[in-house]
């Protein structure tokens, strides 16, 4: 039996294809909710269904649009401190429409409407639905606040409906997108900041890196999202590549507490018995060093079947984008194309003095000494990883700030069924 999950409706003034920070977050939320099997519907005053991820429902309610002519006329009066009669008629129309649309949803996620002044009849309608317990589980996702903005504050007045934008409700879960915003909202509400949850925005690695579905499957299988360091060895499995040394370096990195993934992309020669015997020796050495999870022969890591995995250049390109550095402890290379490929991909190179590294890379390469103990090279890599600010930020983002991680750690625990409150 398929596990039941709560349903969620998202409210905002506008939705994609409208371009904006909140709209991009809504789009990202829709994608990750659906990816994780959580139904979602976006309800907004403008937008299009085909601009949202496939499978996301969309409902257009024109009166939610902050640019609706009725709303704009009401806003002009509100800016003068006048609440026109049309305000109450429009508020009630919105309330009736939302009550009809929201009754079936376990969670209602409201972006900015509780704290921004762009559509006060909508804000008021939501408060009334909460007062009447027509919304059971409400999450207020607060990106911006009119009462704390110098520009917006000048358009507000004391009393209702403007005070709704700084009214705390104990029946609403409040979320801000940073600790600074958490402090500002807590001060505005006059409540302890711990009452408000901070959930940062995230990134979609597949989208940013241009990864294919196959690349995404491979990254998940290899556990790349949790890695402190991803090292790519874009070489075939031959003795010339000095893979024994790479395994020893991997073991030293692990012993130092580094959650490393070393990805060797090339295959052995299946028609050469000696080469296949060497491959078996390497796997036995890997097991004896206890680094089977950390050092991966991609030839054995087909994300779809048990067949040998032969990577094409497109997938190699994806690996260059995924990795943090390129590692080439080769005894010899005729040229060493990975040096140029790594350079063009913006990756650090740790290599022996092969022609491409020595003659083209020169002082920009991290040269390693394979005649010394593997610990020396491991320390060299560790020192770079701990000093390089770009790598440090990249690793933290990969581990903590992808939408998938944020969903599992922060968003999913907020969601509930109606009868759980």
DSSP assignment of 286-336: HHHHT-TTTEEEGGG--SSSSS-----HHHHHHHHHH-SEEEE--S--SS-
Whether 246 and 320 share a structural domain: yes
Q: What is the DSSP string of 178-201?
A: SHHHHHHHHHHHTS-GGGSEE---
Query: Looking at the structure, do residues 147 and 211 belong to the same domain, yes or no?
Result: no
pLDDT band at 303 (very low <50, low <70, confident <90, very high): confident
Q: Are residues 232 and 350 in the same domain?
A: yes
Per-residue pLDDT tens over the stretch 241-253: 999 999 999 999 9
Mean pLDDT of 304-318: 91
Regarding whether 168 and 149 lie in a shared domain, the answer is yes
Q: Note whether residue 67 is domain-resident.
A: yes
What order of strands is seen across the sheet that includes strand 107-111?
Answer: 57-60, 40-44, 8-12, 107-111, 138-142, 172-176, 197-198
Residues 255, 186 share a domain: no
Inform me whether the pLDDT recorded for 1 exceeds 50: no
Residue 421 has pLDDT above 70, yes or no: no
Are 367 and 322 in the same domain?
yes
Same domain, yes or no: 160 and 14 = yes
- Residue 191 in any domain: the answer is yes
Model confidence at 270, pLDDT cuts 50, 70, 90, reads confident
Number of domains forming the structure of the chain: 2
Q: In this structure, are 48 and 192 located in the same domain?
A: yes
Q: Residue range 118-131: average pLDDT?
A: 98
pLDDT of residue 2: 47
d(CA 179, CA 378): 37
Handedness of CA 409, 411, 412, 417 (dihedral sign): positive
Place 419 in a pLDDT band, splitting at 50, 70 and 90.
low
Count of alpha carbons within 13 angstroms of residue 321, beta-carbon side: 17
Average pLDDT over residues 63-84: 98
> What is the gyration radius of the CA atoms in the chain, in angstroms?
28
- Look up the CATH number of the domain holding residue 20: 3.40.50.2000
Say if residue 214 is exposed, middle or buried (CB neighbours under 10 Å; 0-12, 13-18, 19+): middle
411: containing domain: 8-204+404-420
pLDDT at 305: 81
Q: Is residue 43 assigned to a domain?
A: yes
Half-sphere exposure of residue 206: CA atoms within 13 angstroms, side-chain side: 15
Task: Give the per-residue pLDDT at 3.
Answer: 54
Phi (first) and psi of residue 185, to 5 degrees: -70, -40
Give the DSSP letter of residue 361.
I
For the stretch 22-61, pLDDT in tens is: 999 999 999 999 999 999 999 999 999 999 999 999 999 9
Q: What is the dihedral of CA 235, 240, 244, 246, to 10 degrees?
A: -40
Answer yes or no: do 195 and 261 share one domain: no
Confidence of residue 417 (pLDDT cuts 50, 70, 90): confident
| Residue 273 reports pLDDT greater than 90 | no
């Amino acid at each position: 039996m398929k596990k039941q999950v709560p349903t969620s409706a998202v409210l905002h003034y506008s939705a994609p294809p409208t371009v904006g920070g909140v709209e991009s977050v809504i789009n990202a939320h829709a994608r990750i909710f659906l990816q994780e099997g959580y139904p979602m519907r976006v309800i907004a005053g403008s937008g299009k269904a085909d601009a949202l991820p496939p499978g996301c429902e969309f409902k257009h309610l024109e009166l939610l649009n902050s640019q609706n002519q009725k709303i704009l006329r009401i806003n002009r009066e509100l800016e003068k401190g006048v609440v026109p009669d049309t305000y109450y008629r429009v508020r009630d129309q919105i309330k009736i429409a939302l009550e009809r649309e929201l009754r079936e949803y376990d969670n209602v996620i409201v972006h900015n409407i509780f704290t921004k002044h762009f559509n006060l009849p909508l804000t008021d309608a939501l408060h009334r639905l909460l007062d009447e317990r027509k919304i059971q589980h409400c999450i207020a996702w607060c990106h911006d606040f009119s009462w704390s903005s110098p520009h917006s504050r000048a358009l507000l007045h004391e009393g209702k409906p403007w005070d709704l934008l700084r009214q705390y409700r104990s029946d609403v879960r409040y979320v801000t997108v940073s600790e600074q915003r958490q402090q500002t909202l807590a001060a505005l509400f006059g409540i302890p900041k711990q009452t408000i949850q901070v959930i940062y925005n995230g990134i979609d690695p597949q989208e940013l890196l241009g990864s294919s579905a196959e690349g995404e499957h491979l990254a998940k299988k290899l556990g790349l999202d949790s890695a402190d360091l991803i090292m790519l060895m874009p070489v075939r499995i031959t003795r010339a590549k000095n893979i024994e040394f790479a395994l020893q370096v991997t073991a030293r990195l692990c012993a130092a507490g580094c959650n490393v993934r070393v990805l060797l992309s090339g295959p052995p020669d299946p028609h050469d018995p000696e080469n296949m015997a060497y491959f078996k020796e390497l796997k036995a050495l890997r097991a004896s060093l206890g680094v089977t999870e950390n050092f991966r022969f991609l030839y054995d890591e087909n994300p779809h079947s048990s067949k040998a995995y032969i990577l094409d250049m497109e997938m190699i390109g994806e690996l260059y984008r995924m990795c943090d550095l390129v590692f080439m402890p080769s005894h010899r290379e005729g040229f060493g194309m990975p040096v140029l490929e790594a350079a063009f991909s913006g990756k650090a190179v740790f290599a022996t003095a092969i022609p491409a590294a020595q003659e083209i890379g020169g002082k920009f390469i991290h040269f390693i000494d394979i005649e010394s103990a593997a610990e020396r090279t491991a320390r060299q890599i560790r020192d770079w990883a701990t000093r390089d600010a770009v790598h440090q930020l990249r690793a933290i983002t990969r581990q903590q700030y992808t939408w998938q991680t944020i969903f599992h750690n922060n968003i999913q625990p907020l969601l509930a069924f109606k009868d759980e409150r």
